[in-house]
Chains A and B, each alone.
Chain A
């Protein structure tokens, strides 16, 4: 073999950086309605190509087309639109509250509302999500009180978590929302364990694991895939590919391999990609995967192709690492606008009703915010007792903690 010369180190880079012109022309997007809908007991080996395509229902004209369409009624779609609009309004108010110093931190869902809102409606009562910080739509779509969410964000006296967690790290067993960890990917294998327990107990409940594209690089993502495939756990393994892990583009975690969904192929797990900005497609795929899990057919890996239109968090400035207009150039559009246009096309919605709904939702969110703020914000008003700091480390407080609590004078 000829002398290959010096080795060169390779670091992937995104197509463009700030100042450049966004270009998604290299992103292959399947036509809406073009990807088949296999039976839930399909042999995973026969649908490997679905890990490289994108399941879409809504076409450019706002019509629902193809084999994944027709699963939701107009009323259900109107409800879904309201959930997404509520989440967006909630986000905007809480982002503003952070800027006003009422809380330390906030994380928005801008552009990703369809993923969690539509997924929630594919689950049954008792199922359990193991979410990241960007799935509050699971709570909104399940009717969890916004005031309680805000109380948690404000760490006020009514915070159900007693001020122990960062804002937006909600927990609600009742609403199938596992306590959020700040350590990335840890919840992914925990979801598989929960699903294994359900199977061990001959229960009918399933779990849903959530992770972002960047965190798929964590070893717990791979641990989860190993356990899920080994034990055929009844779990839906969700990967939300919103293109950016703070400033790190998805290619750093993905490398040169095909897609995040393709990570499931080596485990024999049916792996699908779906248009994450298409409420109907997300719901249809989630329902397909949930039915597989519930019918003892094992895990499904779903990659939601979406775009984080906002900042990673209130501490982030995306203009430092990507073009400001990149969000507008994203070829899969805005999930709220797409569902709105679809419903207008169906004749069950209008621009006027949409504007009216926006106003109503804003009033509702503001009313919730006022109620939450009556219990205090991070730096003003009521807050959890310092005594709470010592409670709940263990079921029963051991002597050394009791001594420390006494030293603290509480």
Chain B
């Protein structure tokens, strides 16, 4: 099985989808001739032509708004917002238009769009290239929100998202584009070409939306994570020696609550890790769900490790980024150590 980076896997997903369905169109800032600033769409215009893959004006609301119109017509747009931080001008179109079109028209019009956007920090991107806005989407009725953590899932989830009849926000942890990252920024990175999760099958396959994956089996504590934090959680578990079960959520909405509940009922403890700011972050929702569904099985308070409630700083990036040390402390405290 070939090994691919996450960038290549995501590109492959679009390639496969465009090859199978001529209704799939790809556009966004720089995505056509140049192939995107992260080169995710490289080669798609050459292969499918300018009417299937093209550059858009620097106008995020225009990108998403026009995609909604295209979807209403019957196409399946898969658009790129260059950084998740740039999606705010498009937020109205995403949350009040794309999310509600099916509902408000009683299915008369639908909106099968995918909005891809690189998310998260760890690349010295500062305040406007590092944000993790997932909670802004999971709070909205009508959107699905996906965060892959490896090339295999990224391809399968993106194909599933493109084939999904509803709007999907596809958040790509850009720190994982070229290899997993465990939060130790001073250590060499293992590239996907040397990692088993870099194995990406050729051709069409899907990873279903709404299904979590257990990345590390354990019995002492459940760790809920997604995107880059899956690897930080794994590093923390290995460094503390705690028998943690790590669940990679993969899809935040719809959420695989059954897998979460089964794990927490088994372990009796839960630590939630995400990169977005703590207050009103998606971890708050996860914590509430665990408390509602597993209260009588809990042997310790649910713990959260997250970004601080500040804008993402540039020079202090590694103090902001939830690393294995912070996650490790939370694991130890949860275990009563």
Contacts and interface: CB of A to CB of B under 8 A. Distances in A.
Nearest to B96: A183
A188 B97 CA distance: 12
B101 interface: yes
A226 B141 CA distance: 30
Interface stretch (B68-76, B212-220, B225-233, B323-331): B68-76
A162 B103 CA distance: 9
Interface residues on B, range: 35 or more
B119 to A, nearest CB: 22
B254 interface: yes
A199 B52 CA distance: 11
B72 A194 contact: yes
Interface residues of A, number: 45
A201 B144 CA distance: 27
Given A130-B69, A186-B92, A191-B69, A395 B110 contact: yes
A196 B69 contact: yes
Given A183-B96, A394-B166, A192 B105 contact: no
A186 B66 contact: no
B104 interface: yes
A179 B96 contact: no
Interface string B102-113: 111111111000
Contacts, number: 142
Contact of B75 (A200, A219, A395, A398): A200
B72 A398 contact: no
Contact of B210 (A160, A226, A392, A398): A398
B128 interface: no
A194 B70 contact: yes
A257 to B, nearest CB: 21
Interface string B59-100: 101100111111011110100000000000100110011000
Contact of A227 (B52, B59, B110, B144): B59
A314 interface: no
A179 B69 contact: no
A193 interface: yes
Contacts of A398: 210, 253-254
Nearest to A190: B69
A82 to B, nearest CB: 27
Contacts of A191: 69
A207 B73 CA distance: 10
A150 interface: no
Given A164-B104, A171-B105, A392-B107, A223 B69 contact: no
A169 B100 CA distance: 13
Given A162-B106, A179-B108, A190 B57 contact: no
B142 interface: yes
Given A186-B93, A392-B103, A393-B141, A194 B108 contact: no
A189 B66 CA distance: 5
Interface string B156-168: 0000000011100
Contacts of A195: 69
Interface in A130-157: 130
Given A160-B106, A190-B97, A392-B103, A219 B72 contact: no
Contact of B104 (A161, A207, A224): A161
Contacts of A179: 101, 104-105, 108-109
A252 to B, nearest CB: 21
B73 A198 contact: yes
Interface in B109-149: 109-110, 141-142, 144
B142 A393 contact: yes
A183 B92 contact: yes
B73 A201 contact: yes
A374 interface: no
Interface in A198-239: 198-201, 207, 219-220, 223-224, 226-227, 230
A395 B110 CA distance: 9
A165 interface: yes
Contacts of A196: 66, 69-70
A171 B110 CA distance: 12
A224 B103 contact: no
A164 B110 CA distance: 15
Query: Top 5 A-B pairs ranked by shortest CB distance?
Result: A193-B69, A193-B66, A189-B65, A223-B62, A197-B73
Interface of A: 128, 130, 160-162, 164-165, 169, 171-173, 178-179, 181, 183, 186, 188-201, 207, 219-220, 223-224, 226-227, 230, 392-395, 398-400
18 contacts: A128-B73, A160-B108, A161-B104, A171-B104, A171-B105, A171-B109, A186-B96, A193-B72, A197-B73, A199-B51, A223-B62, A226-B57, A227-B57, A393-B142, A395-B164, A395-B166, A399-B210, A399-B258
Given A179-B105, A223-B62, A392-B103, 12 more contacts: A160-B108, A169-B104, A181-B104, A186-B65, A186-B96, A186-B97, A190-B68, A190-B72, A197-B69, A223-B61, A395-B164, A400-B254
